[in-house]
Amino acid sequence: MRAEEVEYLRRRSREFLETAKIQFQKGFYGLASFSLEQALQLIVKAELLECGGDYPRTHSVRSLLSLLGRLLGG
């Protein structure tokens, strides 16, 4: 189950990244920024799961990165 969730989060992250590229090319900079933030949140959550942790139900990139740093010994 965990491996499936990790792959799902990674796939969704890639989709948001591709969406951001398209939005940026069309000049939709605000939407591109939003999509990039979503991509970042999802990939960090995937890494947290893969490192054996869990992730809080938050949209704070800072909190997620801090938690990942602690898991990685930083």
For 42, the token pair is 């999802």
**Total residue length of the chain:** 74
pLDDT in tens, 22-56: 999 999 999 999 999 999 999 999 999 998 878 88
**What is the share, in percent, of the chain residues with pLDDT greater than 70?**
97
For 13, the token pair is 């992250």
Prediction pTM value: 0.87
Number of domains making up the chain: 1
12 vs 51: which has the higher pLDDT? 12
Q: Where would I find the beta strands (DSSP E) of 1-74? A: none
Query: 36 near 20, Cβ under 8 Å?
Result: yes
Q: What would the 3-class secondary structure string for 38-50 be?
A: HHHHHHHHHHHHH
> What band does 74 get if pLDDT is binned at 50, 70 and 90?
low
Residue 1 scores a pLDDT above 70? no
* pLDDT of the residue at 14: 98
- Which domain does 26 fall in, by range? 2-71
